[in-house]
Amino acid sequence: MSSHATPDAGATGRKPVTLHRLREMHAAGEKIAMLTCYDASFARLLDDCGVDCLLVGDSLGMVLQGQPSTLPVSLEDALYHTRAVARGNRSAWLVADLPFGSYEASPEQALRSSVALMQAGAQMVKLEGGGWTAETVRFLVERGIPVCAHLGLTPQSVHALGGYRVQGRDEAAAATLKRHAAELADAGAAMLVLELVPSALAAEIGTARPDLITIGIGAGPRCGGQVLVLHDMLGVTRGRLPRFVRNFMAGAASIEDAVRLYVQDVKAGRFPDPELHGY
């Protein structure tokens, strides 16, 4: 038994974003704005600024912990930050990454890790890769766990992929990505992050499966939504950034203004610019 009380809306007054609402937005052609988030204070700010989805990404290993990749991030790390974000969030949809090593062994391992993340406050889990992952996605979805898949540049496989490079450039690689996307959608994935994928290929994947919400990062403007790493879009990250990143703090008076601009530009289709940010 459970209470059917409606959760409080955020300071924006908007109703809590649900998977049903995200599907309605996608069907109506409204772009979905997603950002990574790792703590309660930013969760509240991003929620108040109208960000639709918060992603507790394993990118926390690089931007918070100073790791060279996402690989060292543990499930315990992900749980800690998911709890923190959940405390600050009021209405955004909360997605949490399954870290490297927390789901590959078996669907049962993935279920245990996903249950822990959901109990920490996540409303959806994200896992990387195609092919073998379809079985795991189906296993989770059948047990009531919403899943976001992730194809293209999958950072947990960076060593196998030979570095941070655009994926799906040749015909064979593109065909594989399209097949994997269809398999994941058939398995019940509700959302699919496409990272570092040619814009035309990302658009083709989204058109082929209109029921699948595609979220692009370096995948052009014709996805169902966009995601960026928070520290990248606020100009905090040092070093050479990928071309798909835009510093929204440039010309903004505050972090809040920068985040609101990001949401507005994603919704209006002004970001990403295919000439500046696409492949």
Both tokens of 127, joined, read 């896992």
Does the annotation place 76 within a ligand binding site? no
Q: Which of 137, 177, 128, 114 is nearest to 157 (CA)?
A: 128
Of 142, 195, 204, 275, the catalytic one is 195
| Distance set, CA 109 to CA 40, 104, 122, 124, 202 (Å) | 28, 7, 17, 16, 30
Alpha-carbon distance of 265 to 244, in angstroms, equals 14
Q: Which residue in this structure is represented by tokens 């100073």? A: 66
Alpha-carbon distance of 109 to 73, in angstroms, equals 17
- Active site (annotated) includes residue 256: no
Does the annotation place 2 within a ligand binding site? no
Task: Give yes or no for a contact between 21 and 213, defined as CB atoms under 8 angstroms apart.
Answer: no
Does the annotation place 104 within a ligand binding site? no
Q: Which of 75, 158, 148 is nearest to 117 (CA)?
A: 75
| Distance set, CA 41 to CA 44, 91, 253 (Å) | 5, 14, 19
Q: Which residues 6+ apart lie within 8 Å of 107 measured at CB? A: 135, 136, 139, 140
Alpha-carbon distance of 250 to 120, in angstroms, equals 35
Task: Give yes or no for a contact between 237 and 63, defined as CB atoms under 8 angstroms apart.
Answer: yes
| Distance set, CA 15 to CA 8, 43, 156, 171 (Å) | 8, 16, 34, 43
Does the annotation place 58 within a ligand binding site? yes
Does the annotation place 128 within a ligand binding site? yes
**What is the SS3 assignment for 94?**
strand
Active site residues: 195
Annotated binding site: 58-59, 97, 126, 128
Annotated binding site for 3-methyl-2-oxobutanoate: 58-59, 97, 126
Annotated binding site for Mg(2+): 58, 97, 128
